[in-house]
Structure 1
């Protein structure tokens, strides 16, 4: 199966389950409010393709240019910036009516005051960036070459390893 499908049977089962769940959700949404779903889908496609994609492509290329000039390992740094930005942006996109207090309906359903969402989103964003920075720091420390106490390299610059003394 792996040679014909490209993955194992568990992957195939998971994909079939995901598609079945998406189809169920789509049927339920289209049964309830087909015009609203069509408008939302069209607006989402237009907003993403014509507005958001060019903006985040420009931001990503700008970050890459800055990191290429200033960071010691720019390819290592960029994903530690991309992941928290992506997750934070996705949370903002999903919850923006509550974060910016644009909807009274959802606050009535959740029974939470509208003022808590902005602070919680900022807290989650801070945790995402802090966690990503901690992981990056760990990876940079692990990738650093071993140094002696003086910090001059693995053998201590100027130290003669064979004789056990420094040349003076």
Structure 2
């Protein structure tokens, strides 16, 4: 009978290093936020993990499956097209998440007090940057295809 090991695959030194990093990160979060905020941070973290795993992942996995079918990515020459759609879409999605309050105008009254500037919606700017990402990606794809020919 083969001996069964409980391991995650990278070895004991790596596991000890990771455990130390998580301990330091947890201590820093606890020290920086205080006990009352620590509960709220934990709820936010668990909520965001659940929202990602149960809502966002099925959505973007489904969209990726549709893109694979639409671009016929089963052929090697079509994989580049799929990746030239994925990369700017990922950039646009990450920018949307980072600037979500500004894009949806969810900022409170503290913005103007803190910056001295009037609130400006980031929606148009986000659309311009996202469009520029897709345009740049398709220009790079066109250059790559022209060089191949």
Task: Mark the CA change 1:34 to 1:102 in structure 2 (over 3 Å): closer, same or farther.
Answer: same
| Aligned-partner Cα distance in 2 for 1:62–1:106 | 42
| Aligned-partner Cα distance in 2 for 1:90–1:122 | 13
* Rg comparison, structure with higher value: 1
2:96 aligns with: 92
- Out of 35, 38, 41, the position equivalent to 2:42 is 38
| Count of residue pairs brought into register by the alignment | 126
- Out of 56, 59, 64, the position equivalent to 1:60 is 64
Task: Mark the CA change 1:51 to 1:26 in structure 2 (over 3 Å): closer, same or farther.
Answer: same
Q: Which runs of 4+ in 1 moved over 6 A?
A: none
1:166 aligns with: none
| Cα distance per residue 1:49-99 (max 9 Å; x no partner) | 000000000000101100008x99320111110011111101111211110
So what's the TM-score if we normalise by structure 2?
0.71
| Unaligned 5+ runs, structure 2 | 1-9, 11-17
| Aligned-partner Cα distance in 1 for 2:31–2:122 | 28
| Unaligned 5+ runs, structure 1 | 6-15, 145-168
Task: Mark the CA change 1:110 to 1:57 in structure 2 (over 3 Å): closer, same or farther.
Answer: farther
| Cα distance per residue 1:3-47 (max 9 Å; x no partner) | xx9xxxxxxxxxx9xx69x92863555437212211110111011
Structure with the larger RCO, 1 or 2 (CA within 8 Å, 6+ apart): 2
Query: Quick check: which one's helix share is greater?
Result: 2
